[in-house]
Amino acid sequence: MWKGENKGGKAIPNIPLMIAVQCLSYTITNIRKQHNKAAFFNTFYFATTIRPLGLCTLDHRTPYSWDPPGHYKHLKKVITTQQLHTHRSQDWSFKTLRKLITDRDTITAIPSLTTEQCTTVWENTASPTLTNKHTEIAWMAAIRCLPTRYFMYSRGIARTARCPHGCRESETEEHILWWCKVAQDIWLMISAFLTRLTGSAAMTLQSILFGPLQGLRSH
């Protein structure tokens, strides 16, 4: 389970959730198939949780626990937090649950941009035309955590927030990427190349921070 790159994630697996969903899928399959001894424990502790989901029936001649151990309670919590109780299918395989959870992920919002623009920004940051380093920097720019002096100073990592190029201003993202004279010189030097790359001569701070909102060209 991980948030996709095109939704603002970093495609880093959420290992605890992945293990919990795998365990949930295994437990439910076991209860329904009764194909090994562990199935009796699973049924005793977890059948009362999955019966309301229509995944099994209770045999009232056998005992059930209404106060299961912690890990079963955790699986119950996973059903609630991931809203799996709305999954009406009988297919509770890990693959299906993973797809369900991943599909439901929402786009991470970026302040001042619309949802469609955010979608384009995340697609830009995950563009196959970028190298890993570029992707990393583009992602940091989108979530506004580039290691500028201002960012580091506000977290007690740098001694000063001042721009190191002799400007009298704080080195914020806006400054380092746009207002600083060094940045302006660099943009001027590569403006012809950027125009060819993006198809537009109009460069703004927003297009530098988030990539062109009409998307990147792949050629």
Contacts with Zn ion, residue ranges (CB under 5 A): 163, 165, 167, 180
What distance in Å separates the CA atoms of residue 209 and residue 201, rounded to the nearest whole number?
16
Which is nearer to Zn ion, 41 or 187 (by Cβ)? 187
DSSP class of residue 168 equals: S
Question: At its nearest, how many Å lie between Zn ion and the CB of residue 164?
Answer: 8
Question: At its nearest, how many Å lie between Zn ion and the CB of residue 174?
Answer: 11
- Which two tokens mark 105? 């992920």
Q: Are 98 and 21 in contact (CB under 8 A)?
A: yes
Question: At its nearest, how many Å lie between Zn ion and the CB of residue 160?
Answer: 13
SS3 category, 162: strand
Which is nearer to Zn ion, 134 or 165 (by Cβ)? 165
Which is nearer to Zn ion, 186 or 192 (by Cβ)? 186
E strands present in the chain? none
Question: At its nearest, how many Å lie between Zn ion and the CB of residue 149?
Answer: 10
Which is nearer to Zn ion, 33 or 168 (by Cβ)? 168
SS3 category, 88: coil
- Which two tokens mark 207? 């297009």
Q: Taking phi first (over 0 means left), then psi (-120 to 50 degrees means alpha), and beta for anything else, what does residue 205 get? A: alpha
Which is nearer to Zn ion, 43 or 148 (by Cβ)? 148
Question: At its nearest, how many Å lie between Zn ion and the CB of residue 8?
Answer: 29
- Which two tokens mark 150? 């201002």
Question: At its nearest, how many Å lie between Zn ion and the CB of residue 209?
Answer: 16
184, 186, 190, 194 alpha-carbon torsion, rounded to 10°: -60
Q: Which residue has the tokens 């500028």?
A: 148
Which is nearer to Zn ion, 167 or 203 (by Cβ)? 167
What are the φ/ψ torsions at residue 162 (nearest 5 degrees)?
-65, 145
